[in-house]
Amino acid sequence: MSAETIVAAILTFMVWSYILGDNPAFRIAEHLLVGTAAGYVAIVVWFQVIGPALHDMVLQPSPTTVLPFVLCALLAARRWPFMRPWAAVSLAFLVGVGSSLAIGGALFGTLWSQVLATASLSLNPADFGESQMFLTSNSFWQNLAILIGTIGTFCYFAFRIRPGGPLRDLRAAFIRFWGGVGLWMIMMTLGALFANAAMSRFTLLIDRVQWLLQVFGLR
């Protein structure tokens, strides 16, 4: 049995000791994990991001290479009170770019693509073969479920503001009905995601138990 295998087995039991409650063994394993991950990330960032960027800035200085380091320097200088107004420039740039990327990604990468995919679905019976055959087609019912789920989910997140006019009650009833459908769709989706996450965790646990049994010659 190699030293790496012994260390891996000991760390596994140290992590599993949390079942008995918080204890020093689990804390040591937790700190080792966090410290190793932080060190690995720092090395990767330095040699693959910061180092090449510094190299390019020194050899071929340009606004696209100098500006990020200027903003980082202003942000690091925030510890001095007289530099805090300048550090706000870096923070504003960071928040603005991050917000625009997040909103753009959510709109065009998720919301708009879902709308286009839903609009391209067909419920025309002629697209599913012979007459009356569309009722037994899985594709038809899948398209219908996706359409209902998408409309219901969008209506669930609609603003519940009562507008004026003669159609306000009709609109409220429409939003209430489809919002309820969307709520059930969201609950089923979250349940499926939770079940998938639980299955993946149990798979990892079973794989680890089998590995330990193999290490100790019990399998």
Residue-number span of the structural domain to which 211 is assigned: 129-219
The residue that leads in pLDDT, 48 or 168, is 48
- Regarding pTM above 0.85, the answer is no
The domain tally of the chain equals: 1
- Give pLDDT, residue 164: 66
Rounded mean pLDDT of 125-151?
Answer: 76
Task: For residue 34, tell me if it sits in a domain.
Answer: no
- Residue 200 has a pLDDT of 94
Task: Specify the pLDDT at position 13.
Answer: 92
pLDDT at 131 over 60: no
Q: In this model, does residue 205 exceed pLDDT 80? A: yes
Q: What is the pLDDT of residue 32?
A: 94
Whether 157 is covered by a domain: the verdict is yes
Which of 30-44, 121-135, 138-152 tops mean pLDDT? 30-44
3-state secondary structure of 38: helix
pLDDT above 90 covers a percentage of the chain that reads: 31
Question: Within a domain: residue 51?
Answer: no
Q: For residue 135, name the pLDDT band (cuts at 50, 70, 90).
A: low
The DSSP annotation for 95-158 comes to HHHHHHHHHHIIIIIIIHHHHHHHHT----GGGGSSTT-GGG-HHHHHHHHHHHHHHHHHHHTS
For the cut 90, the answer to whether the pLDDT of residue 35 exceeds it is yes
The reply to whether 177 falls in a domain is yes
Q: Is residue 68 part of a domain?
A: no
Q: Is residue 164 part of a domain?
A: yes
DSSP letter at 167 equals T
Does residue 93 form part of some domain? Answer: no
pLDDT digits (tens, 9 = 90+) for 37-96: 999 999 999 999 888 888 877 888 777 778 888 888 888 888 888 888 888 888 898 899
Residue with tokens 């320097």: 73
Closest by CA to 215, choosing from 49, 11, 35, is 11
How big is the chain by its Cα radius of gyration, in Å?
A: 28
Report the C-alpha gap between 88 and 109 in whole angstroms.
30
At residue 85, the pLDDT reads 84
Residue 200 lies in a domain: yes
